[in-house]
Amino acid sequence: MSERFSRVYVDRVLDPSYRNWKRLYCADAMDVHKAHLVMLRERGIVPPAVSEAIKRGIDAIEASCRWPDSIPDGAEDLYCVFEEKLELAAGAENAAWLHTARSRNDMDTTVFRLALRRALRGFLEELAACCTVCMERARAGVGELTVLFTHGQPANASTMAHYLSGFLLELLEGADALIQAMDSVDRCTLGACAITGTGFPIDRGRTAQLLGFRAPVPNTYQAISTSHWLIRPASAMRLLLSDAARLAADLLHKSSCEVGLVDFPDDLVQSSSIMPQKRNPVVLEHIRIQAGLAAGVCVSIEDLFRSVPFQDVNEVADAPVTDLLDAIATAGSCFALVAETVRKLRSNAARAREIAVAFGVTTTELADTMVRECGIGFRAAHRICSAFARSGGDKAKLRAAFLESTGADLAWTDSRIDECLDPGRFIAVRRTAGGPAPEGMESVFAAAEAGLSRLRAALDEMRERNARAARELATAWKGLA
């Protein structure tokens, strides 16, 4: 290893960084070199003969280069190795022109932003697929009775459509937040140079355009000092991962033997090596694990910049960016598991009805009906129905409590009381916007469709802009010859 640097420093910092660049950033770095050279040529900063020689050298490196397995002696990073290869391929005097009006500060962060933008877009594709599955499964669950819990206790009768669409809307809110956060990523830092830009007549907008960015970072000091392009997407990702983990935890509860509201097919269940009867829905645990691991990296990114000077610092270099890229891949895996889980989720309507009866989860509607039909206030109805629930559903106790509270007899037959307590009726009367009745779900599905449309439109725009930029860069690059 290098005699210029401490062996420990090389082994622990420089070589791992070099390997990260080989694994993740090489192709983006080549695009940055190309876009920068095209701009320098178009602005008349680099002579045509020089730009042609550099182009031939870069093409030769791309075609035949084998990067060393480990960082070579004396090199600081992959860029140093690239410069040496370019000097051999294009001539030292020609190669030196490529670094005109740029620094590793603005060059490296542009490369990192390209890689991060691509990873986030890939994650959004996975998230969109998951949201589509959630929408389809929710629509299929309009008539599927279930019981929803609060504070770990049976609370209300509802439907799988109502339950799953609630989760879907959380994901779509998170998608909106991540798309907004990506605006900080989708800004080009090239042209900022070390800090203050350059005296050369460069066109920062042109390099941004060739690389598919929305625009340059406006301020050259901000370009090399900002942490928002890492913190904002990490924060948005963490929220989405929290939602995934919460769903997994809730489904683990609902699929337990004691609750039994949902179960899963054999292809999502593992058995015990010793207990023949066991059916373990471990896919839910793996959702929770992957969500937790990826979220942990996101938290570390957010915390990394606490009390860090507002300067160009290595906190925005390859080590944290690489960790975040790997976490994004794990997050994508997590949401692929969520999609498969939701797609194959089976609800148990018979068990839902059993729980509804055993725990009186429709008693709220009994009290509501009493208010509507008997002309008493809700607090009085609540007390009467509480006494009924404590009695275990004794209709005589209900009538006695009504008489004691109102001084009048309850003019309801047993069948009318049973009708008020029916889970289907409980759902059917909740027609307010957002409720589980079909009428209430109309606005829910409309909001979900709107969110999905925003997500798909954002992805379409990203794909189209990036593909257009790639074609434009290829054409401009070819024109340098």
Residue 399's pLDDT is what? 96
Please report the pLDDT score of residue 1 as a whole number: 38
- Using one digit for the tens of pLDDT, what is the confidence trace for 345-366? 999 999 999 999 999 999 999 9
Provide the percentage of residues in the chain whose pLDDT is more than 70.
99
Query: Average pLDDT of 193-203?
Result: 97
Can you read off the two tokens belonging to residue 145?
Answer: 């009775």
The pLDDT tens digits of the residues spanning 303-314 come to 999 999 999 999
Please give the pLDDT value at position 481.
85
Q: Which residue from 341, 343, 330 is spatially nearest to 122, judged by alpha carbons? A: 330
Inter-residue contact 384 to 367 (CB < 8 Å): yes
Give the C-alpha separation, 161 to 146, whole Å. 10
Rounded CA-CA distance 30/109 in Å is 14
**CATH topology identical between 7-100 and 105-144+157-209+217-345:** no
Give the bridge partners for 146, in sequence order: 158
pLDDT by residue (tens digit) across 41-89? 999 999 999 999 999 999 999 999 899 999 999 899 999 999 999 999 9
Q: What is the dihedral of CA 362, 364, 365, 367, to 10 degrees?
A: 130
In this structure, the number of other CB atoms found within 10 A of the CB of residue 278 comes to 11
List 465's β-bridge partners, or say none: none
What's the CATH number for 105-144+157-209+217-345? 1.20.200.10
Domain ranges in the chain are 7-100, 105-144+157-209+217-345, 363-421
Mean pLDDT (the chain, rounded): 96
pLDDT band at 465 (very low <50, low <70, confident <90, very high): very high
- Model confidence at 36: pLDDT above 60: yes
Helix axes 282-304, 318-344, angle to 10 degrees: 150
7-100, CATH topology level: Fumarase C; Chain B, domain 1 (1.10.275)
Q: Indicate whether 389 pLDDT > 60.
A: yes
Q: What is the pLDDT of residue 2?
A: 41
Element (H, E) at 70: none
CA atoms within a 13 Å half-sphere pointing along the CA-CB vector of 307: 0
Tokens matching residue 317:
């270099």
- Residue in the structure block whose two tokens are 């938290």: 299
List, for residues 158-194, the tens digit of each pLDDT value: 999 999 999 999 999 999 999 999 999 999 999 999 9
Alpha helices in 345-437 (DSSP H): 349-358, 363-374, 378-390, 395-406, 414-421, 423-428
pLDDT band (50, 70, 90) for residue 4: confident
**Cα atoms found within 13 Å of the Cα of residue 438, Cβ hemisphere only:** 5
Residues 6+ apart with CB under 8 A from 475: none
0.85 exceeded by pTM: yes
Select the more confidently predicted residue: 278 or 283: 283
User: Residue 335 CA to chain centroid, in angstroms?
Assistant: 8
Angle at 35 between CA 33 and CA 40, to 5 degrees: 95
- pLDDT tens for 14-35 read 999 999 999 999 999 999 999 9
Provide the pLDDT for residue 277.
Answer: 87
In angstroms, the first-to-last Cα distance of the chain is 38
At 120, list the tokens.
């986030």
Average pLDDT over residues 112-121: 98
